[in-house]
Structure 1
């Protein structure tokens, strides 16, 4: 890891051409995964509620199933190349990638949302209804806050997947970590193994750290449930 090919290009691998140009490298990977994680969390809640509640469950299942069946690369291509043709929209590369990753990740998260809601004991529903709340107010104010604790590990695990999936941005030229590493390799030409090991180590550190966070959240959830 101390080879000159890494140390000489470390700034470019970490932040791309920034501050003299657009941000890239590891910094852009974290930005893309963070934005996609936030948007997918919101998108996952909507069909997840539909799956957990009887109203709209069939439509939610169909929409989620369709998005889960579409390869992310294909979805990126369709959003980037098809939207300008159909609607005359100029779609930025980063916006395209965040939209594609968020749609697919949100579809996967929706089942975690539904499972989190279903994990809340029936007594909480009965307590809300006994207090005069309707079904949806009970879900919003009583059930959902508790269910979010159960959902947290799924959200973190999905963020782990998003960090790796950002490498698909190369198909539309977004200069995230894998893309700038390929550029460095094309310039150096003689150290592909060292560059690949560096990139793999960076992804490994990020993913292992998030896996540890997910495990910790799961243990916290288990202690809370058994201690309740």
Structure 2
């Protein structure tokens, strides 16, 4: 079996950034935009929910855990599919496909961020909270100024794993025809029809490079922090 990689050369820029010149980013560029945007939203939402669960406990925490279990019990592909059709009905207007996928990924991932963050907070000695309150800090300031800064280094590997998972999960956007990397690769394959092995080997290699690059940057940051 002989491989012909001319199809990659002929469609390289399209698979990298889609129709960017026409204001429609796609390919690798859109994959990164969606993963990073969803990751930022999920981080903020997950940390806020973890803070609420840490502060109140009881039924509030149980409700949050039930919500997280519900979200994590649904296949992500269905979350994307449902939001794609639900959001235009709720807001009464069409919602861009990439935005729908970003919100679906963020919503899905925020549950995992909440659990990881809460576990990180609960792993810290309880005496620190008591000492902070005794020193005149409010519980919000204890969380913001004392606990989260200490938990953050231990949470980074978990957050990295979630970001890498997000990056790979963007490939599910093909179900609503959002032109990220997997979708544009499928479009190229449908057009030429004779080079599927070359195309999808390239796609797998790109995903590997992106994920390995994220892991390298994060590990280097952790090693640098450890020597401070």
Name the TM-score, length of structure 1 as normaliser: 0.89
CA distance in structure 1 between the partners assigned to 2:4 and 2:27 by the alignment: 19
CA distance in structure 2 between the partners assigned to 1:86 and 1:132 by the alignment: 45
For residues 74-123 of structure 1, what are the alpha-carbon distances to aligned partners after superposition, in whole Å with 9 as ceiling and x for unaligned?
A: 11121111233455242221111011000011111111111221232334
> Residue 37 of structure 1 contacts residue 159 of structure 1 at CA under 8 Å; is this kept in 2?
yes
* Mean CA deviation greater in 84-93 or 97-106: 84-93
What does residue 48 of structure 1 align with? 50
> Residue 4 of structure 2 contacts residue 198 of structure 2 at CA under 8 Å; is this kept in 1?
no
CA distance in structure 2 between the partners assigned to 1:207 and 1:174 by the alignment: 21
Structure 1: gaps spanning 5 or more residues: none
> Residue 173 of structure 1 contacts residue 179 of structure 1 at CA under 8 Å; is this kept in 2?
yes
What does residue 163 of structure 2 align with? 159
> Residue 150 of structure 1 contacts residue 218 of structure 1 at CA under 8 Å; is this kept in 2?
no
1:216 Cα shift? 4.6
1:78 to 2:82 alignment: yes
* Mean CA deviation greater in 143-152 or 195-204: 143-152
Distance 1:34 1:119, change over 3 A: same
> Residue 34 of structure 2 contacts residue 170 of structure 2 at CA under 8 Å; is this kept in 1?
yes
1:128 to 2:132 alignment: yes
Residue 207 of structure 2 is aligned with which of 199, 203, 208? 203
Structure 2: gaps spanning 5 or more residues: none
Residue 3 of structure 1 is aligned with which of 2, 5, 14? 5
Aligned length: 224
1:189 to 2:193 alignment: yes
What does residue 20 of structure 1 align with? 22
* Mean CA deviation greater in 172-181 or 148-157: 148-157
1:93 to 2:97 alignment: yes
